[in-house]
Amino acid sequence: MFKIIRKFVLGPKIQCIVLDAPLIAKKAQAGQFVIVRVREKGERIPLTIADFDRNAGTITIVFQELGKSTRLFGKLREGDFIPDLLGPQGNPTEVEKFGNVAVVGGGIGVAAIYPLLKELKEKANFVITVAGYKSKDYVFWEDKISAVSDRLLIMTDDGSYGRKGLVTDLLKEVIGEEKIDRIFAIGPTIMMKAVSDLTKEKNIRTIVSLNSLMVCGMGMCGACRVTVGEKTHFTCMDGPDFDGHFVNFDELMKRLETYKSEESE
């Protein structure tokens, strides 16, 4: 049983939950995720670790209420318990001193880039963060992200806050202005694909964090398989980070729709 210590609403259907999980907090690193089961009859869903506090023994998860499990999770309150939490899963993001780094976060992906930004800063990179949201109401963690970025550029789809447009528009400008040594992109699959397409032309290595469907999260089922460079990989074991220039995003997007008909039942 894992206790919900704090809970915040960050935006429309966007929840932030802080869980008591000392062992996981002790080991967690940027890029890793947990498998959560929110009730005894619940499914196992992967969620990225958006922050961790080794001293307090807590991890933070940010998610959008999209399906049944995230809706149920969102209904829980501070002091409630969830039955199961497995992690930290997946390989930590490889971070070193790259030089100039552009980090793109989209939607709740902005939460997932936070531990990465922290580590990039610790390793003395110049970090330009591009955060994309749907609209002003959806903007969250601006201060938090800003504190660990050298430049923070915010965009909204409708222009109600920051610049109007897609993150790729801004990224294109950033790439045009200065030499970028490494790019990270975390967000909706379609966004990661667009970023990868753009940076492939410019030949800038781009790491994406894939959000495949999962069951076990530890390599025994293969629900999360993804084609990267003509080869099948398991996102949970070999990822979740992959070189975006080699990921078959079209296949991934189709696979994410596998249970669309069941979910609408």
Partner 1 sequence: MNKIEKIAVAMRQQPAAKRVKSFKEVPLGYAEKEAIKEASRCLQCKARPCVLGCPVLIDIPEFIKAIRKKRFQQAIDIIRRQNCLPATTGRVCPQEDQCQKVCLMGKTGEPISIGSLERFAADWEQKYGKRIKAGVIKKGPAKNKRVAVVGSGPAGLTAAFELAKKGYRITVFEGFHKFGGVLVYGIPEFRLPKAIVSVEVELLRKMGVSFSANTLIGRVLTIKDLFKEGFSAVFIGAGAGLPKFMGIPGENLNGIYSANEFLTRVNLMKAYKFPEYDTPVKKGERVAVIGGGNVALDAARTALRLGAKKVYLIYRRSEKEMPAREDEIRRAKEEGLEFKFLTNPVRYLSDKDGFVKQVECIKMQLGKKDSSGRKAPVAVHGSEFRIGINEVIVGIGTTPNPIIARTTPGLKLKGHGQIEADEFGRTSIPGVFAAGDIVSGEATVINAMGGAKKCAEAIDEYLRR
* 29 three-state secondary structure: coil
If the CB atoms of residues 84 and 150 are measured against partner 1, the closer one turns out to be 84
Q: From the list 16, 17, 24, 117, which residue makes contact with partner 1 (rule: CB under 8 A)?
A: 24
Residues 174-213 that bind partner 1 (CB under 8 A): none
Q: How far apart are CA 162 and CA 130, in angstroms?
A: 11
Task: Write the interaction track for partner 1 spanning residues 110-139; mark x where CB under 8 A is met and - where it is not.
Answer: ------------------------------
Query: Could you say whether residue 43 binds partner 1 (CB under 8 A)?
Result: yes
Question: Binding of partner 1 at residue 162 (CB under 8 A)?
Answer: no
Q: Which stretch binds partner 1 (CB under 8 A): 21-29, 151-159, 181-189, 198-206?
A: 21-29
* Closest distance of CB 20 from partner 1, Å: 13
Q: 65 vs 142, which CB is nearer to partner 1?
A: 65
- Strand 206-209's sheet: what is its strand order? 163-164, 151-156, 126-133, 100-106, 182-186, 206-209, 241-243
Q: Which residues contact 133 (CB under 8 A, 6 or more apart)?
A: 11, 106, 107, 110, 139, 140, 154, 155, 156, 157, 161, 162
Judged by CB under 8 A, the chain residues 45 through 104 that form the site for partner 1 are 68-69, 72, 83-89
Q: Provide the edge-to-edge strand list for the sheet that holds 14-20.
A: 81-82, 2-11, 14-20, 58-64, 45-53, 33-37, 84-89
User: What residues have CB less than 8 Å from 137, skipping those under 6 apart?
Assistant: 11, 12, 160
User: In the bound complex, what is the minimum distance in angstroms from residue 19's beta carbon to partner 1?
Assistant: 12
CA 156 to chain centre: 18
Residue 215 interacts with partner 1 (CB under 8 A)?
Answer: yes
- Examine residue 220 and tell whether it contacts partner 1 (CB under 8 A): yes
Q: Which residues bind partner 1 (CB under 8 A)?
A: 23-24, 27, 37, 39, 41-44, 68-69, 72, 83-89, 215-216, 218-223, 225-227, 232, 237, 251, 254-255, 257-259, 262-263, 265
